[in-house]
Chain A
Amino acid sequence: MAKRIDVSGLTAYYGSHKAIEDISMTVEPRSVTAFIGPSGCGKSTFLRTLNRMHEVTPGGRVEGKVMLDDENLYGSEVDPVSVRRTVGMVFQRPNPFPTMSIFENVAAGLKLNGSYKKSELDGIVERSLKGANLWNEVKDRLNKPGAGLSGGQQQRLCIARAIAVEPDVLLMDEPCSALDPISTLAIEDLIGELKERFTIVIVTHNMQQAARVSDRTAFFNLAGVGQPGKLIEIDETERIFSNPSVQATEDYISGRFG
């Protein structure tokens, strides 16, 4: 439950193309860490190495070490499937399973992990939907298709689905970029509540959002097109946005480039 992530010397490739190079950082448990940076700087790729989703892409491979407390996620005996069961993920576009009801969507991950009694399942689904601030809106239509909800509701459904399996870490890849401001606010409030229980890493293009929701912020950049993305600096969010130690960070957040 809510583990520390410790990354050292991580490099990821797409085929022969080096997407990110030599990244090391520590993510504290029960905190929100935001990744910011220009498009193509590798922040999403880096996020996807944290639950071994990167290698799902044809040609994707990773060098380096990601420690989740004292377990190396890239250890030779580690099954990527079991990694993804402990490191949950929410995607840019809400992706509830279109063929499943709201209830089935939330229970989908649980059914992979083993068999539950109906009453247990009911309890977990309710708790997860409440945890995602969606329960009151959907409690009367749990058997309706999840794809029938609004975009913001769908995204909260996806969060409910991710937290239902009680992961150690929750990764969010631009979770609000397809949502309107009201839905965005709802998700941001939710992130504030979820960090009491989970380690949260969020990629965002919206610097105000990073400033609002995160405790620490990491800035990524790349030297040029075709060059690998690198971690420029990671620090307390307040410091990154007021007094960053690297000039490029200040240029980026003040809107001078990117």
Chain B
Amino acid sequence: MKTDIEPISSAAGSPPQVRTRSIGRAGDKIFLGLSRGSGIALLVIMAAIAAFLTYRAAVAISKDEANFLTTFEWNTGSSPMRFGIAVLAYGTVVSSVIAMVIAVPIAVGIALFISHYAPRRLAAPVAYVIDLLAAVPSIVYGLWGALFLVPHLTGLYTWFDDYLGWTGILSYQGGAARSLFTVGILLAIMILPIVTSVSREVFRQVPKMHEEAALALGATRWEVIRMAVLPFGRSGIISASMLGLGRALGETMAVATVLSPNFLIETSLLDPGGGTFAQNIASHFKEAGDGGRDALIASGLVLFVITLLVNGAARMIIARRKEYSGTAA
């Protein structure tokens, strides 16, 4: 920092023209130092956190008497600890996938409605309400899920069981609908705003000339969307979905409030049970001892790795068709 300040003081006695120039240079240097410093600080902090978590996780895994990846058990209270993340990984991935399958088509539909179908005076309020949904705290969603959604889903689940029960994954034995499927529905509602807003922005940026090209060929409104809007917005939809998926994978309070957790993988998605990484951490963190906390940290690291893999896959999908993305035009 000292060298950054120096030019100002040394320039104080110089002619005005030179002085303004050297102040500019000093400003550049200060700004360069600041931005470079914060960049480096960020990396150092990240590395420190990663190192700390990896160390604690390694300690926990070394004390684990069972297989960390495949065990259906979370027992960190007694002396030989036995815990595994199989149930958590399954529950996290399955509930998030259900959320994506429900939320992405609806979100893209709403975004298209706002950007291309709705009259202007309707589009703005709809967009506003959707954005407002993003501001609701997740515990409120959780309470709504537990008090309203759970009792109201039993009818739907019974219907599923009647007609699709033979598939096994959609059979339902009755009881409270505190299952992974319910969690998926709740997560879908929670990620809807972010996926909608990002998709909407992408659809708005589709160049007018591409839409006119389609119109001039005699395309209907839906054909314009299929020919020009959706292909152009494809990578944006993927990015929007990844943002939503990130939220779904890491959602804690809402899941912990709705799910009735256990350490089994049920065949049926509708029967209560299962768990997710974030929910398991929230449920166990308070009463866990040091060893238990390290075990939870280890599970959190696995969630981190899953998120990284998902994001990497999404980037690859986007990059593979880069020359067709429209950014070259």
Contacts and interface: CB of A to CB of B under 8 A. Distances in A.
Among A82, A84, A96, A161, chain B packs the most CB atoms within 10 A around the CB of A84
Contacts of B228: 97
Interface string A96-128: 111111000000110011000000000000000
Contacts of B321: 99
Given A97-B227, A98-B329, A84 B217 contact: yes
B325 A89 contact: no
A147 B328 contact: yes
Contact of A88 (B216, B323, B327): B216
Given A99-B232, A148-B323, A81 B212 contact: no
Given A91-B209, A112-B223, A148-B328, A85 B218 contact: yes
B218 A98 contact: no
Contacts of A68: none
B14 interface: no
A98 B325 contact: yes
B324 A145 contact: yes
Contact of A109 (B207, B218, B234, B324): B218
- In which size bucket is the chain A interface? 20 to 34
A245 B94 CA distance: 78
Nearest to A51: B216
A100 B218 contact: no
B217 A161 contact: yes
A178 to B, nearest CB: 11
Nearest to A99: B231
Interface string B202-219: 000001011011111111
Nearest to B221: A81
B220 interface: yes
Interface residues of B, number: 27
B216 A99 contact: no
Nearest to A161: B217
Contacts of B328: 98, 145, 147-148
The listed residue with most A CB atoms (<10 A of its CB), out of B227, B232, B329, is B329
Contacts of A145: 323-324, 328
Contact of B213 (A85, A95, A147, A165): A95
Contacts of A165: 217-218
Contacts of B218: 81-86, 109, 112-113, 165
B321 to A, nearest CB: 8
Given A97-B228, A97-B231, A162 B323 contact: no
Nearest to B228: A97
A109 B326 contact: no
A84 B218 CA distance: 5
A96 B219 CA distance: 15
Interface of A: 51, 53, 56, 58, 81-86, 88-89, 91, 93, 95-101, 108-109, 112-113, 145, 147-148, 158, 161-162, 165
Kindly list the 3 A-B residue pairs having the minimum CB-CB distance in the complex, ordered from nearest.
A85-B218, A98-B326, A99-B231
